[in-house]
């Protein structure tokens, strides 16, 4: 479960034994870095999204890895949260301590199922961000900004609109803050060729300095090619139909 968690958060081109993250997890679970890297390749061989692109990975361990993919797709929220719990256990900490910053505003009066639900949501949102940033090698798919603090894992189909797809790696694009906000508000969108479309509200600002600086350069611009997961064309169609302000 810990290596599956790592697989989701690791760029496809960095699943090798000398990757510091691979070495760290190997030490944590008492395995060699080589064995962890091999298991990552095994998970890649079972990844249905990669299979659709003709990427096979290392098929030798597919029987051991397939059940984890089945659990993930059966209930992404439940399984991702469980992998984070197992990881925290091996790190000899708790999720509350590990995610103290993102959980700090939860009221002390909140207890029981309500608190568990919020903790699970916040933790999973954090994992989703890690997955999407890894998929774009921590680079904004539009601007090329590669400062993680300025990057957002933008949901194509909003978190509240479809529970089953909240943690789907195909439902996210790594964008810098300004483009994330514009995408979220339906001011920009992308066609099936992953090229940027500007709304009429944005285009109404032609001639202004901010338009020339931030929006004119991205009109028709194609998104950066991701490491593993391309944005789902089905989700992009939903965004154009439901979110985008033409």
- Provide the b/e sequence for 193-219 (b: ≥16 CB within 10 Å): ebebebbeebeeeeeeeebeebbbebe
Identify the three-state secondary structure at position 69: helix
Cα distance between residue 218 and residue 204, in whole Å: 15
Residues 29-82 pLDDT 10s: 999 999 999 999 999 988 888 887 777 656 666 788 999 999 999 999 999 999
Q: Structure tokens of 133?
A: 């940033």
| Beta strand extents in the chain (DSSP E only) | 151-155, 172-176, 188-190, 196-198
| 178: pLDDT strictly greater than 80 | yes
pLDDT at 50: 82
Residues 156-167 pLDDT 10s: 999 988 888 999
Residues 81-116 pLDDT 10s: 999 999 999 999 999 899 998 888 887 777 788 888
pLDDT at 15: 94
Q: Find tokens 């089905």 and name the residue.
A: 234
Residues 168-177 pLDDT 10s: 999 999 999 9
User: Who's near 90: CB < 8 A, 6+ residues apart?
Assistant: 2, 28, 29
pLDDT at 104: 85
Contact 236, 192 (CB under 8 A): yes
Q: Structure tokens of 227?
A: 């490491």
Torsion, CA 6, CA 125, CA 163, CA 12, rounded to 10: -30
pLDDT at 56: 66
pLDDT at 23: 98
pLDDT at 6: 97
Contact 141, 223 (CB under 8 A): yes
Q: In angstroms, what CA-CA distances link 121 with 77, 80, 184, 194, 212?
A: 8, 11, 19, 29, 38
pLDDT at 53: 74
pLDDT at 179: 98
Query: Which of 189, 157, 154, 160 minimizes the C-alpha distance to 173?
Result: 154
Residues 190-217 pLDDT 10s: 999 999 999 999 999 999 999 999 999 9
């Amino acid at each position: 479960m810990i290596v599956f968690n790592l697989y989701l958060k690791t760029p496809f081109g960095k699943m090798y034994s000398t990757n510091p993250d691979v070495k760290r997890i190997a030490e944590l679970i008492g395995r060699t870095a080589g064995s962890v890297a091999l298991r990552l390749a095994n998970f890649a061989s079972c990844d249905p999204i990669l299979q659709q692109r003709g990427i096979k990975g290392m098929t030798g361990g597919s029987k051991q890895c397939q059940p984890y993919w089945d659990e993930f797709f059966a209930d992404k929220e439940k399984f991702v949260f469980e992998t984070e719990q197992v990881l925290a256990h091996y790190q000899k900490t708790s999720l509350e301590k590990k995610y103290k910053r993102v959980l700090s505003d939860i009221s002390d009066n909140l207890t029981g199922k309500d608190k568990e639900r919020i903790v699970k949501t916040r933790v999973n949102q954090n994992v989703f961000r890690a997955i999407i940033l890894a998929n774009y090698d921590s680079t904004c798919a539009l601007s090329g900004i590669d400062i993680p603090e300025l990057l957002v894992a933008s949901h194509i189909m909003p978190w509240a609109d479809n529970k089953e797809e909240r943690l789907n790696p195909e439902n996210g694009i790594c964008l810098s803050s300004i483009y994330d906000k514009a995408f979220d508000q339906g001011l920009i969108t992308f066609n099936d060729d992953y090229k940027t479309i500007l709304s009429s509200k944005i285009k109404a600002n032609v001639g202004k300095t901010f338009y020339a600086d931030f929006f004119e350069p991205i009109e028709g611009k194609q998104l950066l090619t991701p490491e593993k997961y391309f944005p789902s064309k089905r989700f992009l169609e939903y965004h154009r139909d439901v979110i985008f302000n033409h």
